[in-house]
Amino acid sequence: MMAGGNVRFLVLILAVAICGAASVFQPISDSHRSAALDVFVPVDGSYKSLEEAYEALKTLEILGIDKKSDLSSKTCENVVKVLQSSSSTLKDAFYALNVNGILKCKIGEAGPKDIVSQLQAGVKDAKLLLDFYYSVRGLVLAKEQFPGTHISLGDAEAIFRSIKSLSQSDGRWRYSSNNPESSTFAAGLAYETLAGVISLAPSEFDPSLIQSVKTGILKLSDSIQKYDDGTFYFDEKSVDASQGPISTTASVIRGLTSFAASESTGLNLPGDKIVGLAKFFLGVGIPGDAKDFFNQIDALACLEDNKFSVPLILSLPSTVISLTKKEPLKVKVSTVLGSKAPALSVKLTQALSSKSVDSSVINNQELKFDADSATYFLDSFPKNFDIGKYTFVFKIVLDESAHEKVYITEAQTKVPIAATGAISIENAEIAVLDSDIGSVESQKKLDLTKDGAVSLSANHLQKLRLSFQLTTPLGNAFKPHQAFFKLKHESQVEHIFLDFLGLVEKLYYLSGKYEIQLTIGDASMENSLLSNIGHIELDLPERPEKATRPPLQSTEPYSRYGPKAEISHIFRIPEKLPAKQLSLVFLGVIVLPFIGFLIGLTRLGVNIKSFPSSTGSAISALLFHCGIGAVLLLYVLFWLKLDLFTTLKALSLLGVFLLFVGHRTLSQLASASNKLKSA
């Protein structure tokens, strides 16, 4: 039987794994600015709500896009209407002040006083966290926008304690005192609110209050989640499922940066978590949802301007280096929003090959700096730097020690790099071998860089051998990611092989002329090829009766990729339901036995005279009956909405409870019965 021959250089499918912790993060760029114009599209010059208007205007302002003139007219009308109305909600007033801070709308003289009075009343009457948030943060905005208006909280410490009472031991917060569930998203709102209370306080706070909040922040940071690439983020555990990781993390960042901005807090966070949070939002890419887009940009803006440390991000314009073109390695360092970084140096500490992660090809190489393009580059590589996949490890060192208190960087930044080049293809030949002794019957040299006209013939008792050598620019053996050997019969039946076992059956016993095609490809191979080698005339045995027949070939070779035939299906007509009266009669028949059961109880003279009279025994009996009722209720809930696992979990707890109180009740009844008999 004809089969594949021995190959001098065995071509395998090689899956090369790059270090899982290596990722590339890019700062905010023009692509975000372009996408923002598509995401935040007003309708007839305005947005549906002031909340949407604020999120759009704030995002565009951070990105440096001026759209105020296009939106100011109608949006300012809505702002003035809300601020001058005594019936406006705290939420509407809060977002109206946010929008006004951006658009600078013309508010009447009475407007500031009315809205301040409304917000102060909101603080006084607030019970829910959101009411505290909207009213306190609204007063902070009013104080910034209306300098002539005196705004302060005389009972700031009492308000602070009221808000603090909603905190939990794990650092999360509740939305109200009546709701036992806590939320990470609510923690961010709480820290923003407390920061506002501190800024509106007429005097300094009790340091113990500030310290208690800082302790809660440290506990909250313990719940932060982490990816393998050093990315940190917050997420909800149970309550408020509408908040995802993006909105939750953004809320916490806004809260922490606001709280840290208060001079009296002295809050500080670990640098690795600040960088990790920045990497989380940069790793999101460009969100398609307007809310997520706003949360991403606003959170990054908070990290860009905070009292902890400003994170610096190392990015690469390209992670592919062409050794053929002798391209340099280029690196940029900037803030998360793409602002210029301070004076620093970048070192390439290691270049680890995916083939040998224990040894580094490059060690402690400092990159040169181009001031015109603000780019660090490495224009030459060592002689042993070959094509392949690497993990480059960079280190950023600030030139001035004073900048270390302002900026923060990763200890090490790992980036996946692909080095590409032209692969040499040598010693290519194709041969037909005798199956028994392996002697060469016919052999031809090949030039795989161009199409050939090789003509061969063979039968099912012979073997076909295709061999070639692939080497890198440094002369090392190269294993491509993919290599396909393809035979195409003159009837257009195609066969793609990675091996040649059972070749006769795969060829459907079709004798005749076959075109030979070889495909070699790899991400590191700049000269991947698709070579038409020639043809081979095969003489195969006749097809057995039960052998698989070749599939029918379409006259249009690309029709297989076209639209498929439409599938029509008619659903079964629903069966006719019985009349409503019949259903009611059936329900009555089901209820009748229960009514008979109740009548039987009265006939038998059932009573509760034996119900224990002593306090302890009565409580046990009452708990036992309540437990039975709870089991019956659980069955009803299982029928209505609970799943099996939840039901079994609750039933196991109730079973243990019933076992305890039931045994106690029966023991007391037996003891009472024995006393009566002995008497």
Q: What is the pLDDT of residues 187-200, one digit of tens each?
A: 999 999 999 999 89
Give 340's DSSP letter: B
Compute the distance between CA of residue 109 and CA of residue 113 in angstroms, rounded to an integer. Answer: 8
- The reply to whether 30 falls in a domain is no
Q: Does one domain contain both 393 and 364?
A: yes
On whether residue 43 sits in a domain, the answer given is no
Say yes or no: 432 and 405 in one domain.
no
| Least reliable range by pLDDT among 80-84, 340-344, 353-357, 607-611 | 607-611
What would the pLDDT profile of 242-286 be if each residue is shown by its tens digit?
688 999 999 999 999 998 887 666 677 778 889 999 999 999 889
Do 378 and 449 sit in the same domain of this protein?
Answer: no
Nearest to 283 by CA among 243, 232, 322, 242: 232
Distance in angstroms (rounded) separating the CA atoms of residues 227 and 222: 15
Q: Which of 298, 304, 302, 291 is nearest to 59 (CA)?
A: 298
Single-letter residue type at 389: K
Strand partners, 313: 334
Residue ending a domain, among 543, 567, 601, is 543
Residue 508 CA to residue 448 CA, distance in Å, equals 28
Is the pLDDT at 179 greater than 50? The verdict is: yes
Region of 502 on the Ramachandran plot (φ > 0 left; ψ -120 to 50 alpha; else beta): left
Span 524-564, pLDDT tens digits: 999 998 888 888 888 878 777 777 777 666 656 666 677 77
Residue 667 lies in a domain: no
The residues, any chain, with a CB within 8 Å of residue 150's CB and separated by 6 or more, are none
Look at residue 16 and tell me whether its pLDDT is greater than 60: no
Q: Is residue 520 part of a domain?
A: yes
Let me know whether 429 and 535 are in one domain.
yes
Query: Cα-flanking dihedrals φ and ψ of residue 155, to 5°?
Result: -105, 50
On whether both 456 and 507 belong to a single domain, the answer is yes
Q: List Cβ<8 Å contacts ≥24 apart for 41-45.
A: 42/70, 42/71, 44/74, 45/70, 45/71, 45/73, 45/74, 45/75
pLDDT score of 296: 95
Q: What is the pLDDT of residues 296-319, one digit of tens each?
A: 999 999 999 887 789 999 999 999
CATH number of the domain within which 362 lies: 2.60.40
Question: Is residue 154 in some structural domain?
Answer: no
Same domain, 393 and 453: no
pLDDT in the model for residue 343: 93
Q: What is the mean pLDDT of residues 325-331?
A: 91
Of residues 609 and 454, the one with the higher pLDDT is 454
Residues 468 and 393 in one domain: no
Return the residue matching tokens 């909207």.
Answer: 134
CA gap 535, 462 in Å, rounded: 16
Confirm whether 356 is domain-assigned. Answer: yes
Q: How many structural domains comprise the chain?
A: 2
In this predicted structure, what is the pLDDT of residue 420? 94
Distances (CA, A) of 83 to 75, 131, 149: 13, 17, 15
Closest by CA position to 430, among listed 443, 412, 413, 411: 443
Q: What is the per-residue pLDDT across 92-107, written as a single tens digit (0 to 9) for each?
A: 999 999 999 998 888 7
The 10s digit of each residue's pLDDT in 117-128 is 889 899 999 999
Identify whether 475 is part of a domain. Answer: yes
Q: Does the pLDDT value for residue 10 go beyond 60?
A: no
What pLDDT shows up at residue 111? 64
Q: Do the beta carbons of residue 456 and residue 537 sit within 8 Å? A: yes
Residues 468 and 515 in one domain: yes
pLDDT recorded at residue 19: 33
Q: Which domain-ending residue is among 420, 445, 473?
A: 420
pTM: 0.70
Nearest by Cα to 513 from 493, 531, 532? 493
Mean pLDDT of 620-626: 88
Q: Is the pLDDT of residue 430 over 70?
A: yes
- Range 413-428 average pLDDT: 92
pLDDT at 91 over 90: yes
Which residues, in sequence order, are bridge partners of residue 320?
A: 418
User: In sequence order, what are the residues at sequence separation of 6 or more whose Cβ sits closer than 8 angstroms to the Cβ of residue 367?
Assistant: 329, 331, 345, 346, 347, 348, 376, 377, 378
Burial class (CB within 10 angstroms; exposed 0-12, middle 13-18, buried 19+) of 60: buried
| pLDDT at res. 24 | 77
**102 close to 57: Cβ distance less than 8 angstroms:** yes
**For residue 407, which phi and psi values (nearest 5 degrees)?**
-115, 155
Do 456 and 367 have their domain in common? Answer: no
Q: What is the pLDDT of residues 340-365, one digit of tens each?
A: 999 999 999 999 988 877 788 999 99
CB 152 within 8 A of CB 196: no
What's the pLDDT score for residue 14?
A: 28
Q: Please check whether residues 495 and 451 belong to one and the same domain.
A: yes
Distance (Å, whole) CA 557 – CA 554: 6
Mean pLDDT lowest for which of 355-359, 388-392, 450-454?
355-359
Instruction: Indicate the residue type of 656.
Output: V
- Exposure pattern of 336-356 as b/e (b: 16+ CB <10 Å)? bbbeebeebebbbbbbbbeee
Same domain, 378 and 404: yes
Distance CA(583)–CA(577), nearest Å, equals 10
Looking at the structure, tell me whether residues 451 and 519 fall in a common domain: yes
pLDDT of the residue at 240: 54
Find the range with the poorest average confidence among 156-170, 328-342, 396-410, 494-508. Answer: 494-508
Tell me the residue range of the domain where 519 lies.
Answer: 424-543
Q: Is residue 604 part of a domain?
A: no
Q: Which of 491, 525, 543 is the last residue of a domain?
A: 543
